[in-house]
Amino acid sequence: MSQDSTTAPETSRKLSGRRRREIVAVLLFSGGPIFESSIPLSVFGIDRQDAGVPRYRLLVCAGEDVPLRTTGGLELTAPYGLEALSRAGTVVVPAWRSITQPPPPAALDALRRAHEEGARIVGLCTGAFVLAAAGLLDGRPATTHWMYAPTLAKRYPSVHVDPRELFVDDGDILTSAGTAAGIDLCLHIVRTDHGADAAGALARRLVVPPRRSGGQERYLDRSLPEEIGADPLAEVVAWALEHLHEQFDVEALAARAYMSRRTFDRRFRSLTGSAPLQWLITQRVLQAQRLLETSDYSVDEVAGRCGFRSPVALRGHFRRQLGSSPAAYRAAYRARRPQGGPVERTDRPDRADRLERLDRLERLDRLERADRPDRAEVIEQRSGEHSMPLRRPGAPVGHAGHTSHAAHHHHPPHPDPGKPESDAYAPRLPEQAAGRASGRPTLPGQRERPVG
């Protein structure tokens, strides 16, 4: 269950008598990154009752009998050992030092015992690898940093790894994605234990949002496990990445691999950590994201160049994975894009970008509000054309070139908010109005359609 859930699963085991729910044990190992290790220490180890945050009792425990050296060569001393885990109602394992090394057997035994006695077990970032090594994630949903999710899925095939989530709450087992997602999960624990007000008060103290929307999709890239190079499916995956602009499905990929669809699905999931259809959709969305950032292709053209069968399909998948429509994403990206480096033009320069059209419409609207009624007459005199009455830009045309009744209730030509955010529905600037805004004469016989 992800961060979007309003209710958390019920813990299936009853807490043993010697454990206390308000006691949180943090299990530290040598080589662990200091930032991830400090997150649970800050959330559960500082008394913030004055801010309305109920107090936890923190036990910092050493997971092994060696000096605890962390980022930058710092050496830590933990006041407790593994025996202190027997008193904790919640045990947190921050990021593990290396996904290629097995955790100490004594620490794994202590985690299994804590879970059997009803303790809530939490793995932050690569701490999920420690929980998986202890067998606590078997048959359960879990997440970790998107970069390590394929490795976790391949090494522990019985774990249902979901690299899209910021964190997963499966009742008595909770896991989070990387770094900042550990804060999200710790706030979720406070919210589960003491309510939204307590979590909100703590979030204000930490100067972070109490609940982030979305997941890890926006951070995913085309990275695949290092082991893929030696797998027979590597050629099929490489071909798919090079032909995303073509319309093909998973059946076509299975045929290229000379496998049945069922066998291909199983092999692909073991290799990449995700189902082939979901992987393919994610890659198409990522390609669309890149084109929206680096080109002037319309949304319809982007859909075609990324292998989507229709712009509607692109918009649906794009919104589900990145939390916004393609047009809104492009607008937000360009708003924060540094000045300089022009965006790559398409092979259809006559199709102006939606943002450019909106900008021109805004300039035209400002011209109207300047309340200069003589401008139309000046343009008319310069043009020398009198074949049709001139009027203020944006006024709809009735029969015989006269302004219609709607002209008495003029509205600026802004986009209709009820229509989808799409280039197909973007407001189009009439050539006649564009000519007047730029001071050029209006061609005789031209008529202007109402926009919006």
pLDDT in tens, 190-223: 999 999 999 999 999 888 888 776 555 555 554 4
pLDDT band, residue 278 (cuts 50/70/90): confident
pTM for this entry: 0.53
The pLDDT of residue 188 is above 50:
yes
CA–CA gap between residue 39 and residue 83 (Å, rounded): 22
Instruction: Mean pLDDT check: name the lowest of 149-158, 171-180, 398-407.
Output: 398-407
The pLDDT of residue 55 is above 50:
yes
All residues at 6 or more sequence positions from 171 whose CB lies less than 8 Å from its CB, including other chains = 8, 9, 10, 11, 12
CA distances 266 to 271, 272, 273, Å, are 9, 10, 10
The pLDDT of residue 170 is above 90:
yes
Answer with the residue of higher pLDDT: 174 or 286.
174
CA distances 79 to 66, 99, 207, 344, 392, Å, are 13, 26, 29, 58, 79
433, 446 Cβ separation under 8 angstroms: no
The pLDDT of residue 167 is above 50:
yes
CA–CA gap between residue 315 and residue 325 (Å, rounded): 6
pLDDT band, residue 73 (cuts 50/70/90): confident
CA–CA gap between residue 333 and residue 326 (Å, rounded): 10
- According to the model, what pLDDT value does residue 182 have? 92
Answer with the residue of higher pLDDT: 6 or 141.
141
Region for residue 56 given its phi and psi (left: phi exceeds 0; alpha: psi -120 to 50; beta: otherwise): beta
- According to the model, what pLDDT value does residue 179 have? 82
pLDDT band, residue 124 (cuts 50/70/90): very high
